[in-house]
Amino acid sequence: MPSSEAARIARAIGGADRIFLAAHEDPDADAVGSLLALRSMLLSLGKRVHAATPDPPPGRFAFLEGHAAIVTTPPAWEADLAIALDCDGIQRLAGLAEPFLAAPITVNIDHHRGIEPFGDIHWIAPGAAATASLVVGLADELGVRITPSRASALYAGLIADTGGFRFTNTSPAALRLGARLIEAGADPAELARRVFTIRPLPAALLEGRALSSLDMVADGVLVASLSRNDFAQTGALPEATDGLIDRFRDVLGVRVAVLLKEAEAGVWEVSLRGNGLDVATVATDFGGGGHTFAAGCTIEGDLDGVKQRVVRALTDSLEDETRA
């Protein structure tokens, strides 16, 4: 989906030799896939590229070409251009934010709703199924071919953000893009297996902890929680929760699924998934953001207090929807 913003970004890339690419903290498949595909494209254009995320990319994406090149530190050299991918706010770059903003030209490419635009050029397309779709548009603008490895990275991001083409953001454009990436060399069966199915034993054990914590605390609001102790005792990494909340959303009668994950003592990462209910507004009220039916935020406090605050906000939202 080339656009005037894509053309501006392409011109900025054309005038740069050293490019700093960054994606959000706790990177998911769309962040990693978009970052790797764009990195490969820029390298093919003869650019010097540094790719980084605040947290290490999940090991389960190690099959994607270039995965090992993603680091957690800024470049040692001065960049001519910095591009952020899939970041709905500069704060999502965490420790990379300052060096990112130090570049003479900064670009923000994202598809989240309610984003806080930052940078000199921002291409924000809430109607896009994934940031990966914007990277494809940029490839077209640059005249760069979508190779099989790039197609695989982008397809991984696309199916992750559309839930394997099951979420409400699965548009005709998303399906056409999926077909294009398959034609370019992406293996849909293998990529679906790697993105949604394969997991280590600690992740399965952690899911058991989450299942045992499930609590339907209000009409249609299902809450699960995972403490730091749960992660320590199972040996699971933070990435082990990827996709977990989406399975909870599928429980019969659930209108909103909530997963509370303790990131550090007294700090809880809150993931929200709505079945037809706008959860992005609730997440935004707590300083977070995301998509209409898939959003998140971070809240400080003890588990019971955080749980009560989130549930109260969601029940208020449900009541408002009922009255409307």
Task: Give 128-178 as a 3 state SS string.
Answer: CCCHHHHHHHHHHHHCCCCCHHHHHHHHHHHHHHCCCCCCCCCCHHHHHHH
Does the pLDDT value for residue 226 go beyond 90?
Answer: yes
Given a cut of 60, is residue 1 above it in pLDDT?
Answer: no
What is the C-alpha separation between 233 and 317, in angstroms, rounded? 36
112: confidence class by pLDDT, cuts 50, 70, 90: confident
Q: Please list, residue by residue across 171-201, b when 16 or more beta carbons sit within 10 angstroms of its beta carbon and e when fewer do.
A: eeebeebbeebeebebeeeebbebbbeebee
pLDDT reading at 322 higher than 70: no
Token code pair at residue 1: 């989906």
Token pair, residue 303, equals: 């588990």
Return the structure tokens found at 189: 């069966």
Average pLDDT over residues 255-268: 96
Q: Which of 43-47, 58-62, 266-270, 286-290 has the lowest mean pLDDT?
A: 286-290
What's the average model confidence in pLDDT over 238-267? 92
Q: What pLDDT score was predicted for residue 292?
A: 85
Q: What angle do CA 213, 217, 221 make, to 5 degrees?
A: 95
Q: Note the pLDDT of residue 324.
A: 56
Mean pLDDT score, 106-113: 91
Average pLDDT of the chain, as a whole number: 94
For residue 93, the model assigns a pLDDT of 95
Query: Residue 37 is inside which H or E element, if any?
Result: helix 29-44
pTM summary value: 0.83
State pLDDT tens for residues 34-92.
999 999 999 999 999 999 999 999 998 999 999 999 999 999 999 999 999 999 889 99
Which strand (E) or helix (H) includes residue 201? Answer: helix 201-213
pLDDT in tens, 119-141: 999 999 988 999 999 999 999 99
Burial of 284 (0-12, 13-18, 19+ CB in 10 A): middle
**pLDDT higher than threshold 80 for residue 114:** no
* Predicted confidence (pLDDT) at residue 2 exceeds the cutoff of 60: no
pLDDT band at 189 (very low <50, low <70, confident <90, very high): very high
pLDDT at 199: 87
Domains and CATH numbers, the chain: 4-196 (3.90.1640.10), 201-323 (3.10.310.30)
Q: Per-residue pLDDT for 26 more than 50?
A: yes
Burial class (CB within 10 angstroms; exposed 0-12, middle 13-18, buried 19+) of 140? middle
